[in-house]
Amino acid sequence: MSTTTADLQNPQGDEHLDDVSHHHQHHFATMEQQFDTSKIGMWLFLVTEVLTFGGLFVGFGLMQNRYPREFVEAHEHLQRLAGATNTVVLLVSSFTMVMGVLAARTNQAAKCARYLWITVGCAAIFMCIKAYEYTHKYEEGLLPGYFYHHHGDLIPGSHGYSTFFSFYFMMTGLHGLHVMIGAVLLAWLAVRAKRGEFNSVYYTPVDLVGLFWHLVDMIWIYLFPLYYLIK
């Protein structure tokens, strides 16, 4: 699976890889072997990410089944416009990420750095909007578990509302953590790209962080309808 993906990502093929003397680690025979291996490693790591979030998605599903009316009512408290804006921001950042990888692969260091910084900017916007939403929840008392103290619910005293917000904060919080980690990685790459460390032979870190970033986006693509749209 991963070999074919790597081939797609690397249409230039062997001739570019073998004639340039970029060093590879001693236990690999070629740059290409090293690149493919790194790629497999990253895909496996992404699998673990999916499963980490998977547990939370399953838990959410079970609790939604237990408290269907509370969950519908609770989701009305979420700010749909903020969520939709964040979705657009992350989609744009995915695009700039791809352009960054392309620029790295085509030896355009400055352009690569620029695209990476734009991606970091998108991450920052996302986190700002998220902070605004969290503040609103905090002020309304829409908080997890024991801390929930919102008034005026249709089913007073039901634990469904607080459970909804337990999952909301766990899942969006864990996702937000990933956005921040991604942003730090991207900034580090942008600095390295500016120094001209990436080229058509060696751009593995950009490619791998790119994969990670797309996964972070994709998780949000699932979180957004789950929390903001589904009735």
Partner 1 sequence: MEHTLTHGTASGEQPHSEKNYLNETTGIWSWMTTVDHKRIGIMYLVAVCVAFALGGTFALLVRLALLNPQHTLFGKHWVDQEMYNRFFTLHGVVMVFLFIIPSIPGSLANFVLPLMLGAKDVAFPRLNLMSFYLWVIGAVLGISGILMGGVDTGWTFYTPYSATTSTHVTIVLMAAFILGFSSIFTGLNFIATVHKLRAPGMGWFDMPLFIWGIYATAIIQILATPVLAITLVLLMIERNFQIGIFDSRIGGDPVLMQHFFWFYSHPAVYIMILPGMAIMSEIVPTFCRKTIFGYRAIAYSSISLALLSFLVWGHHMFVAGESDLANVVFSGLTFLVALPSGVKVFNWLSTMYKGNITFETPMLYALNFLILFSIGGLTGIFFATLATDVHLTDTYWVVAHFHYTMMGGTAIAFFGGIHYWWPKMTGKMYNETWGRIGAILVLIGFNVTFMSQFVMGGRGMPRRYFNYLDQFAPMHMYSTIGSWILAVAFLVTALNLLASLKFGPKASANPWGGTTMEWQTDSPPITHNFHDQPVLEREPYDYRPREVTHA
Instruction: List interacting residues with partner 1 (CB under 8 A).
Output: 2, 25-28, 33, 36-38, 40-41, 44-45, 47-49, 51-56, 59, 62-63, 66-67, 144-147, 158-160, 162-163, 166-167, 169-170
d(CA 191, CA 188): 5
SS3 state of residue 126: helix
Nearest C-alpha neighbor of 129 from the set 66, 82, 95: 82
d(CA 57, CA 55): 6
Q: Quick one: 129 or 174, whose CB is closer to partner 1?
A: 174
Nearest distance from C-beta of residue 5 to partner 1, angstroms: 13
Q: Quick one: 93 or 163, whose CB is closer to partner 1?
A: 163
d(CA 89, CA 112): 19
Q: Quick one: 96 or 207, whose CB is closer to partner 1?
A: 207
Nearest distance from C-beta of residue 85 to partner 1, angstroms: 27
Nearest distance from C-beta of residue 147 to partner 1, angstroms: 8
Helical (H) or strand (E) element with 212: helix 204-224
Nearest distance from C-beta of residue 113 to partner 1, angstroms: 26
Q: Quick one: 38 or 85, whose CB is closer to partner 1?
A: 38
Q: Quick one: 58 or 84, whose CB is closer to partner 1?
A: 58
Using a 10 angstrom Cβ sphere, with 0-12 exposed, 13-18 middle and 19 or more buried, the burial of residue 193 is buried
Nearest distance from C-beta of residue 92 to partner 1, angstroms: 29
Nearest C-alpha neighbor of 9 from the set 190, 191, 192, 203: 203
Q: Quick one: 49 or 197, whose CB is closer to partner 1?
A: 49
Task: Determine the distance from the C-alpha atom of residue 223 to the mean position of all C-alpha atoms in its chain, rounded to a whole number.
Answer: 11
| Sequence-separated (6 or more) residues with CB below 8 Å from residue 95 | none
Nearest distance from C-beta of residue 121 to partner 1, angstroms: 30
Sign of the four-CA dihedral 220, 88, 182, 94: positive
